Chain A
Amino acid sequence: MIGRLWRRLRGRRDRKRWKDLSDASFSELQDYVESEVLTGDLKDTEEKIRGAFGNSSDLTLRYVNLGANPRVQILVAHLDGMVDVVSLTNGVIRPILEGTLYASEHISKEPPRRKVAYALLKQQLIHISTVKETDSLEKALEYIGRGFAVLFVEGVSRGLACEVKGWAERDVAEPGTEATVRGPRQGFVENSRVNTSMLRRMIVSPLLWVEEMQVGAITKTTITIAHIKGIADDGVVEEVRRRIRSIEVDSILESGYIEEYIEDAPYSPFPTILRTERPDKVAAALLEGKVAIITDGTPFALVVPATFTSFFVASEDYYERYFTGTFMRLLRIVAFFVSLISPSIYVAITTFHQEMLPTPLILSIAAQREGVPFVAVIEALFLELSFEFLREAGIRLPKVIGPAISIVGALILGEAAVRAGLVSSALVIVVAATSMASFISPIYSMAINVHLLRFPILFLAGSLGLFGVIMGLSAILIHLSSLRSFGVPYLEPLSPIVFPEWKDSLIRLPLWMMDTRPKLTAKKEFIRQDPKQKPRAPDKGSGDEADGQQ
């Protein structure tokens, strides 16, 4: 109390006006706001709020009176556009105005009248279910900024924040980046509360624990950590909490920011954190003992720990039957290699190892390359770069001209370049196949990173042939083996070998075969289902009575 008194006195003493701070830096202003204190003086509070928000036209302040005689004045502050006007009116304003008579009685009966008025407001009048209190200006400003309506009662140096949030948001729609043929078509949205509700719908247990924290000094983004208590490793959960808590930045705009601040291998081209837009994927991961991180403001949730094989898994693998699922997985692995090394293999073989191709093929390639002025490496580099231009441009083209230009671009580029003798047609096909293959991985972050690794391998192929390619692949393999994601080795279950988990990595065995959860993420709750789940014919003697057992 002494401290509070002292702060008030000091605040009064060397109090600067907002206009004195007109060319102060952000942190100076921030410090000033932190040092300010709520007084019971409404005019003073109004001045402070207006000073902080400046000339912002969405700031709305309104005075209402509670009680008739004696009357207590209340200041209502909110941001237009951030509140749901109906709730504000019906839940806050109307009860105050209609409860005036009732309030009058109570206020006159028991002094001090302002404190009584405040208590009345808080406990009986406001028709909003979530109501928070604060006695710091900074927190009150934050509540205003978050779409709360903050009420200040004259003479009471506290603010009462009522949750009347309501703003324009995107509807739940099919995830843009991970569409499936079969499976739920819901994707996360930008509101983290809605996202957690989607998870709750899938996992009905109360043991799905959802914790919030705020990261980002200016954006104060809500980060939600979800895990299933009892399946997830508490050590991993604590580590996630610790890492997020230690992020000190001014803004978190997307989960990618979080990803970069907490990942295990910041320099590696390979992502160690999975990101996804699909709630069913997150739910499946949670059930395996992984931890999900949901960031407000982006539909992309993060899942840790993530291993290499998890980037080649699409939720569709599980919704189709095992045969399709396995084939799709193997296709993705093949596509991974194709997108990584095809142009390099072509360059290496035609430049260093011509004896490896069958004679008709090498003669055909030699014929195509007559007249091409460039060395094979340069040709490959040139074509790969052009395709990168095309791809990147294609992302930003408006939807109306996009398809036309991309078709024209690809066809003309390829065809004309061959005609002009700049490139050989075999290489055009190789590069096109590479680009196609790079989009097969369902997780874009992995696909694009791997796709870019092909450039160093191309250089190696051009200088050292297949030996160089193998060197590059070995370097990548060594690097992958050394990666860990929140304690789990990246190449698990391939190295270290964990045979039971092979059922769900490169292939997908039928669901009734997968009795166990992955060992490293779900040690505690290992068994997932009864081992005898395979559908089979009913035992003899359990037929209907109507089958005629006389």
Chain B
Amino acid sequence: MPKPSNRLSLVILTILLLLLGGCWNRREVESLAFVMAAGIDKAAEGGKVQVTVQIARPAALVSGGQGSGAMERAFWLVSSTGYTPFDAVRNFSMQSSRRLFWAHNQWLVLGEEMAKEGIQDILDFSIRDGETRRRVKLAVFKSGKASDFLQTELEMERLSSQAYIGILQTGSLSSSSVVDIDIHHFLLALAGEGIEPVAIRAEMIHRPPDIDIRGQIEQIDISSAPRIAGAAVFRGPKLVGWLDRPETRGYNWVVGKAKSSIVVVERPDAPTKYVGIEMIRAGSKIKSEFTNGKPKITITIRAEGAVGDIQDMFVVMDTKTAVASMERQMATVITNDINAALKKARELGSDIFGLGQSIYQGYPKEWKQLRDTWNDEGFKEVEVKIEVKANIRRSGLTEIGTPVRR
């Protein structure tokens, strides 16, 4: 124990050390530009990439709410080019008064062109830097450059990146015709054996103006609106195709993410009327086995549903057989969706379901021989058996078939 006088000088030295070191890494909040969404495209100049970022404007978000006249835009869109994304980001300093802050970024949107050529060159920036995160959603924009997508604005949220997150959440919850992929899961599939990655599909669709009344936002072209639906299929780092909504549903069934989706079946007693069944539980198991040197995959789907909606309840349905019939129909619908997805994936030559992974996990030695040609041959030829166990558990507040007096 040092002498008291030495102790005091030790304390003073420590305090001086603090003052001497200063405060490195200090970033004042108002000197940061919060990136909400980022997009990467091929630049006009050859060999370069163009990074577009959507930067939030906090002042506009907080105050300019009940705007007088035109509402202030909640974000600022700015682009920069460079040889690599890192280079492009550094070049932002020529246009932005504030330093880009990536920790709150939620979207990485890729242009279709860029994705088709392969994204192996641009992913590293998102992984290596400490400030970017792997929970960022990865999307591919079908109808052009990513920067066009970032310009869109949606109702209900001031920042479109927040709006799209909301769409993803409600979309995967209520219809499961979207996929919710972030960079982390994309990379898992990219590096994994026997599985290919998918990404979120974003596009612009045409919409007649009278159906969707927009607010006070000035928009040049009201006839098209952004939409997130379906999936983008990759083979390795290259985009090879798209899944549309039913196919995406099938995909979600196979990978076990179809919870809360809706299956529409026909009423057993009145085939022109429909019954909407909401899934409360949806699980899937992929099992692989080898018979006679040939692989065989069994996909077991367990689906439990609750009746959500029955059209024209006049005609009373007999309960037991009605339910059994609806369950059979459910199974059929699900199987059809899965088959559609399987067909499309086989067309595109990309095993997005992880059937190969299942073989790899069960039979690694056999997988070694299959893996090189899996996507082109093995995947297309493997026998897939789909078993669906569908079950209707609940019917809401009334029993099936409440009569309506005519």
Q: How far is the CA of A30 from the CA of B302 in the complex (A)?
A: 101
Task: Tell me the chain B residues, 1-42 only, with Cβ under 8 Å from chain A.
Answer: 18-19, 21-23, 25-30, 32, 34, 36
**Contact pick for B32, options A354, A359, A368, A464, CB 8 Å:** A354
Residue among A351, A372, A462 with the highest chain B CB neighbour number at 10 A: A351
Indicate if the CB atoms of A354 and B29 lie closer than 8 Å. Answer: yes
Chain B nearest CB, measured from A282 CB (Å): 35
Minimum Cβ distance to chain A for residue B11 (Å): 10
CB distance from A547 to the nearest CB of B (A): 51
- Within the assembled complex, what's the spacing in Å between the Cα atoms of A372 and B59? 13
Residues of B within 8 A of A465 (CB): 25-26
Give the contact-size bracket for chain B: 20 to 34
> Does A355 sit at the interface, judged by CB under 8 A?
yes
Could you mark each residue 302-333 of chain B with 1 if its beta carbon is under 8 Å from any beta carbon of chain A, else 0?
A: 00000000000000000000000000000000
B214-234 CB contacts (< 8 Å) to partner A: none
Specify which of A355, A363, A463 is in contact with B131 (CB 8 Å cutoff): A355
Chain A residues with CB below 8 A from B125, complex form: none
CB of A327 to closest CB in B, whole Å? 36
Q: Give the shortest distance, in Å, between A470 (CB) and chain B (any CB).
A: 14
Q: Would A362 and B63 count as touching, CB distance under 8 A?
A: no
Q: Determine the residue in chain B with the shortest Cβ distance to A456.
A: B15
Asked whether B61 lies within 8 Å of A363 as measured between CB atoms, the reply is yes
B28 contact from A362, A367, A376, A459, Cβ within 8 A: A376
Chain A residues positioned under 8 Å from B106 (CB to CB): 359
Contacts of A460 in B (CB 8 A): 18
Query: Tally of A-B residue pairs with Cβ under 8 A?
Result: 71
Given contacts A355-B103, A463-B23, A464-B18, contact A367 B62 (CB under 8 A): yes
Say if the beta carbon of B101 comes within 8 Å of chain A: yes
> Is B343 part of the binding interface, using a Cβ–Cβ cutoff of 8 Å?
no
Q: How far is the CA of A463 from the CA of B28 in the complex (A)?
A: 12
Query: With an 8 A cutoff between CB atoms, is B104 at the interface?
Result: yes
A367 and B59 form a contact (CB under 8 A): yes
A367 touches B104 (CB 8 A): no
Task: Tally chain A residues at the interface, Cβ within 8 Å.
Answer: 24
How far, in whole Å, are A355 and B58 apart by their CA atoms in the complex? 16
Report whether A368 and B23 are in contact in the complex, using a CB–CB cutoff of 8 Å: no
B179 on the A face (CB < 8 A): no
Say whether A366 contacts B63, CB under 8 Å. Answer: no
Minimum CB–CB distance from B109 to chain A (whole Å) comes to 18
| Set A370, A376, A463: member contacting B22, Cβ < 8 A | A463
Contact A464 B23 (CB under 8 A): yes
One digit per residue, 1 when the CB lies within 8 angstroms of any chain A CB and 0 when it does not, for chain B 64-92 equals: 00000000000000000000000000000
Within 8 A of A (CB), among B198-249: none
Main secondary structure of the interface of A (DSSP, over half): helix
**Nearest-Cβ distance from residue A365 to partner chain B, whole angstroms:** 6
Contact among B18, B21, B62, B101 for A459, CB-based, below 8 A? B18
Give the distance in Å from the alpha carbon of A375 to the alpha carbon of B26 in the complex: 10
Whole-angstrom distance from the CB of B234 to the nearest CB of chain A? Answer: 28
Q: Enumerate chain A residues within 8 angstroms of B26, measured Cβ to Cβ.
A: 351-352, 462-463, 465
Which residues of chain B come closer than 8 Å to A344, judged between CB atoms?
A: none
> Is B56 an interface residue, CB under 8 A from the partner?
yes
Q: CB-CB contacts of A492-525 with B at 8 A, as 1s and 0s?
A: 0000000000000000000000000000000000
Could you tell me the distance in whole angstroms from the C-beta of A463 to the nearest C-beta in chain B? 4
In the bound assembly, the distance between CA atoms of A319 and B14 in angstroms comes to 47
Contact B25 A350 (CB under 8 A): no
CB within 8 Å of B: which A335-373 residues: 350-352, 354-355, 359, 362-370, 372
Across the interface, which residues of A come within 8 angstroms of B21, CB to CB?
463
Q: Mark B40-63, 1 if CB is under 8 A from A, else 0.
A: 000000000000000010110111
By a CB distance below 8 angstroms, the chain B residues around A368 are 62
Which B residue's beta carbon lies closest to that of A364? B62
- Chain B residues with CB under 8 Å of A350's CB are 28-29
**Which one, B18, B30, B59, B104, contacts A359 given CB within 8 A?**
B104
Closest to B26 in A: A351
Contact of A363 among B18, B19, B58 (CB under 8 A): B58
Closest-by-CB residue of A relative to B23 is A463
The minimal Cβ–Cβ distance linking B158 to chain A, given in whole angstroms, is 10
* Minimum Cβ distance to chain B for residue A214 (Å): 32
- How far apart are A428's CB and chain B's nearest CB, in angstroms? 16
**A351 CB contacts on chain B under 8 angstroms:** 23, 26-29
- Contacts of B29 on A, CB cut-off 8 Å? 350-351, 354, 362, 365-366, 369, 376
Contacts of A463 in B (CB 8 A): 18-19, 21-23, 26
A462 vs B101: C-alpha distance in the bound complex, in angstroms?
20
Contact B28 A370 (CB under 8 A): no
Are A362 and B61 in contact (CB-based, < 8 A)? no
Task: Kindly provide the distance from the CB of A430 to the nearest chain B CB, expressed in whole angstroms.
Answer: 14
- In A431-464, which residues have CB < 8 Å from any B CB? 459-460, 462-464
**Taking the nearest CB of chain A, how far is it from the CB of B38, in angstroms?**
14
Which residues in A have their C-beta under 8 angstroms from that of B25? 352, 465
- When C-beta atoms are compared, the residue in chain B nearest to A377 turns out to be B23
Q: Is the CB of B103 within 8 A of A370?
A: no
Q: When the two chains form their complex, are residues B30 and A369 in contact, meaning their CB atoms are under 8 A apart?
A: yes
B34 lies within 8 A of A355 (CB): no
Complex interface: chain B residues within 8 A of A354 (CB): 27, 29, 32, 101, 103-104
Contact of B34 among A352, A362, A462 (CB under 8 A): A362
Which chain A residues border B30 with CB–CB below 8 Å?
A: 366, 369-370, 372
Are B63 and A367 interface neighbours, CB within 8 A? Answer: yes
Would you give the shortest CB distance from A99 to chain B, in whole angstroms? 66
Across the interface, which residues of A come within 8 angstroms of B32, CB to CB?
354, 366
**How far apart sit A372 and B31, CA to CA, in the bound complex (Å)?**
12
User: A362-B104, A366-B30, A370-B30 are contacts. A462–B23 as well, Cβ < 8 Å?
Assistant: yes
Give A464 to B14 CA distance when docked, in angstroms: 14
Q: Which of B126-149 contact A (CB under 8 A)?
A: 131
Chain B residue numbers with a CB within 8 Å of A359 are 34, 36, 104, 106, 162
Rounded to whole Å, the gap between the CB of B53 and the closest CB of chain A is 15
State which residues 16-40 of A face B: CB under 8 Å. none
A425 to B112, CA, bound (A): 45
Taking CB atoms, residues of chain A closer than 8 Å to B34 are 359, 362-363, 366
Q: Which chain B residues numbered 325 to 382 have a C-beta less than 8 Å away from chain A? A: none
Annotate B264-308 by CB proximity to A: 1 below 8 A, 0 otherwise: 000000000000000000000000000000000000000000000
B28 CB contacts on chain A under 8 angstroms? 350-351, 369, 375-376
- B56, A363: Cβ atoms closer than 8 Å: yes
B-contact bits for A381-401, CB 8 A (1 contact / 0 none): 000000000000000000000
Interface residues of A in 134-175 (CB under 8 A from B): none
B58 and A367 contact, CB distance less than 8 A: yes
Residue on A nearest B4 in the bound complex, by CB: A267
Per the bound structure, the CA–CA distance linking A369 and B27 in Å amounts to 13
What mask results when residues 94 to 130 of chain B are scored 1 for a CB within 8 Å of chain A, else 0?
A: 0000000101101000000000000000000000000
7 closest A-B pairs by beta carbon, nearest first, are A355-B103, A367-B58, A367-B62, A366-B58, A463-B23, A363-B58, A359-B104
* Residue contacts A-B, CB under 8 angstroms, 28 given: A350-B29, A351-B29, A352-B26, A352-B27, A354-B29, A354-B101, A355-B103, A359-B34, A359-B36, A359-B106, A362-B29, A362-B34, A363-B56, A363-B58, A363-B62, A364-B61, A366-B34, A367-B58, A367-B61, A367-B62, A369-B28, A369-B29, A370-B59, A375-B28, A376-B29, A462-B26, A463-B18, A463-B19
13 further A-B contacts with Cβ under 8 Å, apart from A366-B58, A367-B63, are A351-B29, A352-B26, A354-B104, A355-B104, A359-B34, A362-B104, A363-B58, A363-B62, A369-B28, A372-B30, A463-B19, A463-B26, A465-B26
B interface vs A, CB < 8 Å?
Answer: 18-19, 21-23, 25-30, 32, 34, 36, 56, 58-59, 61-63, 101, 103-104, 106, 131, 162
